[in-house]
């Protein structure tokens, strides 16, 4: 006698999982933007402020962006992707630590929390990036995307790096809670200054460039700019290095999360 239809059972599991993620995504959107007057506008505000400030600084010191790329386009191609990475690793770390009130429900797992945060962060960040680019285009900063696949690859690698770093930080902060409060001062600000937001690898002296290229974010931002702008070209992008770096981070983070979770039980 049959114990049940396996197709129906798998569909039921899939349906439950979809509903859990859908509910978590809606909760995430509401908690981030639903209680603010500007709502989604807050996601646009930060990169726009940074963009205006640094464009103004470049004009004051009479410095132009490299390779003939207009300064606003050059800067937004670094600032927006970096903010996506920064917010992503912070949110993934928070999801990896877990939310006790949500984890009380048997259908909700830490991985559900992480996935929902990744989806919200990535979709909002990419939407902000596109909106800013369209806005700059209508303000007269014309450009043509040279290699859409390259842009998508650069963002995908940044997403992988953000997930990996978030998993490591989240797993470690499960055991050592003070790590979370130190992550932004120790990682966020140094990475902001060394990831190529305001410079390119070719602008650096050889010794400084060799050190800077150990930062995988610099490779991603160089790739995005290289793929966006015809006049900009980088010969320092090493996709294999970034892929291996991201894979190690994700694997190490998952391993730590599993070890510390078992120890807590």
| Residues with Cβ within 8 Å of residue 88, at least 6 apart in sequence | 118, 121, 122, 125, 158, 159, 162, 163, 166
CB 223 within 8 A of CB 201: no
Q: Do residues 157 and 165 touch, judged by C-beta distance below 8 A?
A: no
Contacts of 163 (CB under 8 A, 6+ apart): 88, 89, 92, 114, 118, 246, 249, 250, 253
In b/e form, how buried is each residue of 187-225, taking b as 16+ CB within 10 angstroms?
ebeebbeebbbbbbbeebeeeeeeebbebbbbbbbbbbb
Count Cβ atoms below 10 Å from residue 6 Cβ, excluding itself: 9
Closest alpha carbon to 187 in 175, 200, 172, 201 = 172
- If one counts every other C-beta atom within 10 angstroms of the C-beta of residue 114, the result is 23
Rounded CA gap, 114 and 233, in Å? 35
Q: Along the 265 residues of the chain, how does pLDDT read in single tens digits?
A: 445 555 455 557 778 788 888 888 888 888 877 666 666 677 788 788 888 888 887 777 656 667 778 888 999 999 999 999 998 998 898 888 777 777 777 788 888 888 999 999 999 999 999 999 999 888 888 888 889 999 999 999 999 999 999 999 888 887 777 677 766 666 778 888 889 988 899 999 999 999 999 999 999 999 999 999 888 888 999 999 999 999 999 999 989 887 766 665 5
The tokens for 247 are: 């894979």
How much is the pTM? 0.88
Residue pair 226/233 in contact (Cβ under 8 Å)? The answer is yes
Vertex 155 angle, CA 14 and 194, to 5°: 135
């Amino acid at each position: 006698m049959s114990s049940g239809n396996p197709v129906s059972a798998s569909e039921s599991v899939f349906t439950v999982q979809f509903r859990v993620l859908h509910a978590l995504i809606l909760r995430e959107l509401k908690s981030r933007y639903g209680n603010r007057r500007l709502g989604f506008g807050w996601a646009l505000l930060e990169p726009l402020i940074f963009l205006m400030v640094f464009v103004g600084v470049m004009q004051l010191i009479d410095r132009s962006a490299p390779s003939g790329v207009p300064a606003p386009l050059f800067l937004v191609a670094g600032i927006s992707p970096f903010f996506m990475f920064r917010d992503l690793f912070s949110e993934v770390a928070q999801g990896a630590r877990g939310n006790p009130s949500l984890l009380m429900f048997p259908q909700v797992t830490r991985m559900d929390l992480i996935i929902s945060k990744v989806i919200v962060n990535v979709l909002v960040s990419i939407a902000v990036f596109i909106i800013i680019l369209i806005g700059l285009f209508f303000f007269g900063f014309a450009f043509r995307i040279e290699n859409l696949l390259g842009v998508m690859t650069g963002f995908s690698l940044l997403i992988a790096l953000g997930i990996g770093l978030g998993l490591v930080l989240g797993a470690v902060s499960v055991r050592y809670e003070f790590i979370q409060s130190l992550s932004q001062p120790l990682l966020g600000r140094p990475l902001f200054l060394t990831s190529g937001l305001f410079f390119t690898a070719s602008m650096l002296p050889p010794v400084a460039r060799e050190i800077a290229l150990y930062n995988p974010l610099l490779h991603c931002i160089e790739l995005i700019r290289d793929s966006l702008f015809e006049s900009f070209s980088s010969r320092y992008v090493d996709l294999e290095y970034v892929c291996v770096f991201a894979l190690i981070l994700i694997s190490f983070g998952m391993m730590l999360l599993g070890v510390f979770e078992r120890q807590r039980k």
